[in-house]
A and B are shown apart, each in its own frame.
Chain A
Amino acid sequence: MMFIDSHAHMLSRTTDDYEAMAAAGVVAVIEPAFWLGQPRTHVASYSDYLSSIVGFERFRAGQFGIRHYCTIGLNSKEANNEELAEAVMEILPRFALKEGVVAIGEIGYDDQTELEDKYFRLQIDLAMELDLPVMIHTPHRDKKRGTSRSMDVCEEHGIAPSKVIVDHNNEETVRECLDRGFWAGFSIYPSTKMGTERMVDILKQYGPERIIVDSACDWGISEPLAVAKTAKLAAQKGVDQEAIRLVCYQNALDAYGQSGQMKEEDWLNPPAIDQRTVYEGNSILRGQREPVVETPKSRRTMDDLIIE
């Protein structure tokens, strides 16, 4: 089965992760622009970060047979540094039209401050101007209200809910999100967001329509195989294959494909120029091995350490 991990901060991940993801069937990842665990204090470092996710990281992923896309935006945490935020807003339009940019995101609220609100709204307008989807980061604290408020603001600005992916949902937010017509993302990030077992229960309750499973793997303790593992557990618990395909692959493609920057042909039948330059092709698509969900044998155990 092919998987898309539509929320993965690959810049923070190792080559082992890329290998494991490719072996598990991940054909594409989306790297949302976010903060790096500590605040940036200069616009230049923000600019270089955006350059990395449209450039080198895209290339790096391609070496492992994984197509890399990204979203461009000013995150809610750094929106609170007004001087930085103003400067970042200036450079965003230039990055938002780079190849492989599938949305403006992840944007939204953290502490739900006035500055967060201001830049969230400005970026929704930018997305509408550029006809790009929006990826919303819903807050960890005061989550339910923050999620409702995020959708209120989207409606107020007139962006179609079908162009907005509301991420980091949980049992408390999913109903409203789906009822209002938005895409509902779930980040399988057990310590703070959502676990695999809970996710399968949600799938059983709500069905697959407009639900997207992602890993949100980053620099913290997180699981780059979360999408594949959720698919495996869901199958074991009797969720049908088509539903699994929708939430672990097709829905993400439909939602972010609205950008015009992400197509199935990108990995099934890539242009010759890409094959010469940035994309090595996926070993699973080349039929070399069966998809596996387990991490390939850890290289870190001494048992099978090969001395070359």
Chain B
Amino acid sequence: MGDTPSTLLRNWITRQAPPPAADWFDGQIDKLLGDPAQKTFDIAFGMAPRKLGKDDLVLSAEDLAAADAARSGWNPAQWSIDVAARVCFLIALSKDPSQPFAARFKDLHRTADLGELLALFSGLSLYAAPETLVDLAAGGLRTNIKAEFEAVAHRNPFPAEQFAINPWNNMVLKALFVGVLLEPIQGLDERANPELARILSDYAHERWAADRLVSPELWRCIGPFAGDEYLDDFRRVVAHGKPTEKKAVALALTTAPPSAGKDELCAALSAYAEMIASGALTWRAIADEMLDNSLAITRKLNFEVEMTR
């Protein structure tokens, strides 16, 4: 116990990498902790995938529990070994008092390749002075590269902890807009707010006007504010939606304030009550239904296909 994210990463990397690569990695970390010169860092950061490869980091359930214990919310389940090594180097760099880390982050971001972008953003919650990185993280969400967006938004405690309401709401809306799942975003329920509910309801109406489908996950952020204003949206899904959409509305209703309208809708969706009570129907289950199994490795959303079946 008492492991820091940095020591955990170091252990995971050195136990997985073959000896010459593991030795190289250890050597770079020691060098960097001794003298965090830009050139020392650039070499370590640049060479990581060449030395260590890009295999997925192999983590057990205990490892993931240790990650969460070391830094609440930290979830490296989908990290690759090069991302892990680069984040480890970045943590070391963020301890260097000679230059603000945000400036170094900005400089690295300016010339980063794809793998480096993923590392910079995946580690956001682990660097010193996270509050100085908020604008840079929000910048990462302006990308057209889904993987970069997900590095900020998914399995990362940083947005829920650091984003003010506007960047938070923008992140959730853009996730829906670009076809990225909401479920891996941490703090969705805690950060629900009436402004976001309004934005998402407007977005759903736009999609319907264009005869396009609406992600079932959207209703999760509207649930807590589903008074009369939004219950008509729910009614529309109950009348015309596919099974996955109806399940999502049934789940969203569990957080809605009491009303006669809510009771009517719950009665109409009573088929799902048992699944919700038993814990079989969750937002994770909804997300799984949206993922095409055959494409699971690429995490492609098969939502539109699923919905039109």
Q: Show the binding face of A for B, using Cβ within 8 Å.
A: 47, 50-51, 54-56, 58-59, 91, 94-95, 97-100, 260, 271-278, 280-281
Q: Does B73 contact A (CB under 8 A)?
A: no
In chain B, residues 34-73, which have Cβ atoms closer than 8 Å to a Cβ of chain A? 42, 46-47, 49-50, 53-56
Binds A, one of B114-122, B253-261, B276-284: B114-122
B42 touches A272 (CB 8 A): no
A47-B111, A275-B297 known; A55 vs B47 contact (CB < 8 Å): no
B100 to chain A, nearest CB (A): 20
Majority DSSP secondary structure for residues of A touching B: helix
A271 touches B55 (CB 8 A): yes
A103 to chain B, nearest CB (A): 15
* Set B55, B78, B113, B145: member contacting A276, Cβ < 8 A: B78
A55 touches B117 (CB 8 A): yes
A277 touches B47 (CB 8 A): no
Which residue on A lies nearest to B38, using beta carbons?
A: A94
CA distance A278 to B298 in the complex (A): 10
Q: Does B299 contact A (CB under 8 A)?
A: yes
A56-B144, A271-B54, A276-B78 known; A99 vs B113 contact (CB < 8 Å): yes
A56-B145, A94-B42 known; A272 vs B113 contact (CB < 8 Å): no
Q: Show the binding face of B for A, using Cβ within 8 Å.
A: 42, 46-47, 49-50, 53-56, 78, 80, 82-83, 110-118, 144-147, 297-299
CA distance A94 to B56 in the complex (A): 26
A178 to chain B, nearest CB (A): 32
B263 to chain A, nearest CB (A): 41
* Set A55, A98, A271, A272: member contacting B46, Cβ < 8 A: A98
A58 to chain B, nearest CB (A): 6
A59 touches B114 (CB 8 A): yes
A260 touches B145 (CB 8 A): no
Q: Which residues of A contact B49 (CB under 8 A)?
A: 99
Please indicate which of the listed interface residues A55, A94, A100 has the most CB atoms of chain B within 10 Å of its own CB.
A55
A59-B145, A94-B42, A98-B46 known; A275 vs B114 contact (CB < 8 Å): no
B50 touches A280 (CB 8 A): no
CA distance A47 to B108 in the complex (A): 12
Q: Which residues of B contact A280 (CB under 8 A)?
A: 298
Q: Which residues of B contact A100 (CB under 8 A)?
A: 113
Q: Which residues of B contact A273 (CB under 8 A)?
A: 54-56, 80, 82-83
B113 touches A274 (CB 8 A): no
- Extra 16 A-B pairs, beta carbons < 8 Å, given A55-B145, A58-B114, A59-B144: A47-B110, A54-B114, A55-B112, A94-B111, A97-B46, A99-B49, A271-B53, A271-B56, A273-B54, A273-B55, A273-B80, A273-B82, A276-B298, A277-B147, A278-B114, A278-B145
B297 touches A272 (CB 8 A): yes
CA distance A277 to B145 in the complex (A): 8
* Set A54, A260, A271, A281: member contacting B113, Cβ < 8 A: A54
B224 to chain A, nearest CB (A): 32
A271-B54, A276-B78 known; A97 vs B47 contact (CB < 8 Å): yes
Which residue on A lies nearest to B48, using beta carbons?
A: A99
B111 touches A99 (CB 8 A): no
